[in-house]
Amino acid sequence: PFVRLEESRSEETGGIGLGLSITRSIIHAHGGEITLRNHPDGGLEATVRLPVEPSP
């Protein structure tokens, strides 16, 4: 689950958590995808898949 580790990033002080949304937009713009899941040992696991361009 998402946990804010830094208190200055709370909603009351202006942080709105756009990092993953921006990351997703950039990855999608490059034709890729991002998958998030809770790791069995704790924490978040992020998998990014980008298309491979053929070598010249």
Residue with tokens 């069995």: 40
Average pLDDT, the chain: 80
Q: What pLDDT is stored for residue 22 in this prediction?
A: 87
- Chain segment 36-53, per-residue pLDDT in tens: 999 999 888 999 999 998
DSSP-derived secondary structure for 2-52: ----SGGGSGGGT----HHHHHHHHHHHTT-EEEEEE-TTSSEEEEEE-PP
- Chain segment 19-31, per-residue pLDDT in tens: 888 899 999 999 9
Amino acid at 36: L
Claim: this prediction has a pTM higher than 0.85: no
